[in-house]
Amino acid sequence: MKILVEFILCCSFLLAFDVEVSGEGAFNGKTTLLEFKNFKDIKYEQVHYATKSFPILINPSNTKKSYALIPISYYEKSKIQELKIDYTDNNERRTKLLSININQVKYDKEEIHVNPSKVNPKAPDIKKLIAQEYHEAMNIYETVTNKSYIKDPFIMPIQSKITSAFGKARVYNGSLKGYHSGTDFRAKTGTNIFAANCGKVVLVKNRFYSGGTVLIDHGRGIYTCYFHMSAFNVKEGEMVKRGEILGVSGQSGRVTGPHLHFSARINAVQVDPLQLVSLMNNKILKGK
C-alpha cells in the first residue's frame, strides 16, 4: 500500500510533481522512503527534515523514479512533520513544502540483568571513557560519504534466531536505560560475523558498553554496526565486500551472554536495521 503525501501546494502543481511515501507510512524508529516520479525537466536535489538534509537519488532498479531515505528518531512523537524539497525545474532552482504524518509505534519492554558495574558506573575514569566513546562514534555517524559503496542487496550478518528485536524499552537491573538500539541474534562465541554489504571499515575497537565493535560506512550516510564481538578479522580503513568475515561473535561489553547485536544508522539517526534492510532490498536494490 502506498500513502500519498499531503502536500502544502496548489492543485495545479500536483500534475507535475509526484511524491509518495512508500510502504505503510512514517513511524518513529523506522526509515521512511519517499519516492519521486521523474520528469524530463525536473531534477531533484535533497529533502530537509528537522535539522538534517538527505539526498534525492535515482532509483537503480527503476530509473523512472528517484528516492530519499528519511530516518525517523525513536523518540519522535506522533505529529504532522514538515519537509522541504529542493529541486530545479527547467534549470530554475525551486523549493516546495510538504507534510507527512509521523505515527507512533508501541514498542515492547524487556528486563535484563547484567553486572551492576555495566548499569550505573560511578568511577570518573569509566564515565569519561563512556563519554569519549560516545562522541567518537557520533563523529563517525555524522560523517556522510558523498557516494554509495552498495551495489547489491543486503544480507544478514549471521543466520540465527533473533533473541531481541529493535526498539524494546530496556530495563537493566530494574532501572530503565533507554531502548534496544538494534537486533540481537543468538550466536555462541566464535561464530563468524559477515558484512551486511560493501563498505569501508571506520571503527574496530573494544568499547565499554558495546564490547568488540565494528562499524561499516556504506556511503550516503548509511552505517551498519556489529557489537559484542570477541575477535576481529578486519582493520580500520579497509574496504570490505558484502559477506566478508568481519570477525567472530562473543560476549564482550554489556551483555547477558554471547550474541551479535546488529544495528544501523542513517545520518547519525538510529533506525530499525531489519526494516532498513527490507526497504533497501525490496524497493531500491531489487533485481540488482
Instruction: Note the pLDDT of residue 4.
Output: 40
Instruction: Note the pLDDT of residue 173.
Output: 54
Q: What is the pLDDT of residues 245-260, one digit of tens each?
A: 999 999 999 888 999 9
- Nearest 5°: the CA angle 182, 187, 189 is 120
Instruction: Note the pLDDT of residue 169.
Output: 79
Instruction: Note the pLDDT of residue 144.
Output: 96
Instruction: Note the pLDDT of residue 112.
Output: 67
Distances (CA, A) of 62 to 55, 67, 84, 123: 17, 10, 24, 54
Residue 218 and residue 133: Cα distance in Å, rounded? 21
Instruction: Note the pLDDT of residue 106.
Output: 86
Could you give the count of Cα atoms lying within 13 Å of 24 in the half-sphere of its Cβ? 9
Question: Whole-structure pTM over 0.75, yes or no?
Answer: yes
Spans of the chain below 50 pLDDT: 1-15, 176, 288
Computed on alpha carbons and rounded to an integer, the radius of gyration of the chain in Å comes to 20
Kind of pairing between the strands at 92-103 and 26-27: parallel
Residue 38 burial (CB count, 10 A): 15
Domains defined for the chain, CATH in brackets: 3-103 (2.60.40.1930), 109-284 (2.70.70.10)
Instruction: Note the pLDDT of residue 239.
Output: 98
DSSP 166: T
